[in-house]
């Protein structure tokens, strides 16, 4: 089983609506990464969170890491078609060199 679980698995929202994607770990995270993937392409780095309670924003995307460092959320405000894609959370688990990812969330934004 994967150590990082994401929810929901897929999401369809109307343009302009807000949405939240969650990423949960069974272990304490020492760094949590959010990536976006356009269909059929490589992953693009969005943000990294390290400290409990940390929050970062980039344009209309905000990511938070909870105090216990076991859960992160990604929030998109006023979604646009350009936000469509697959969002993945990742973390180094086990050893400092083993980078694993969650199950991914496929986001569609309708007009």
Partner 1 sequence: DVKVTQSSRYLVKRTGEKVFLECVQDMDHENMFWYRQDPGLGLRLIYFSYDVKMKEKGDIPEGYSVSREKKERFSLILESASTNQTSMYLCASSTQGQGNTEAFFGQGTRLTVV
Binding residues for partner 1, rule: CB under 8 A, are: 2, 6, 9, 30-31, 33, 35, 40-45, 48, 50, 88, 90-92, 95-104
Smaller CB distance to partner 1: residue 17 or 38? 38
Residue found under tokens 């929810």: 7
CA 107 to chain centre: 11
Q: What span, in angstroms and rounded, lies between the C-alpha atoms of 36 and 105?
A: 10
Spatial contact of 24 and 70, defined as CB atoms under 8 Å apart: yes
Minimum CB–partner distance for residue 46 and partner 1 (Å)? 10
If you compute the radius of gyration of the chain from its CA atoms, what whole number of angstroms results?
A: 13
Minimum CB–partner distance for residue 21 and partner 1 (Å)? 12
Minimum CB–partner distance for residue 83 and partner 1 (Å)? 19
């Amino acid at each position: 089983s994967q150590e990082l679980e994401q929810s929901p698995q897929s999401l369809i929202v109307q343009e302009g609506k807000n949405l939240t994607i969650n990423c949960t770990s069974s272990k304490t995270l020492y760094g949590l990464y959010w990536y976006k993937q356009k269909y059929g392409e490589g992953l693009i780095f969005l943000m990294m969170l390290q400290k409990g309670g940390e929050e970062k924003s980039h344009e209309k995307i905000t990511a938070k890491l909870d105090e216990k460092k076991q859960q992160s959320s990604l929030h998109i405000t006023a979604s646009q078609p350009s936000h469509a894609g697959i969002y993945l959370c990742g973390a180094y688990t086990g050893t400092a060199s083993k980078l694993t990812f969650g199950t991914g969330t496929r986001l569609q934004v309708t007009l």
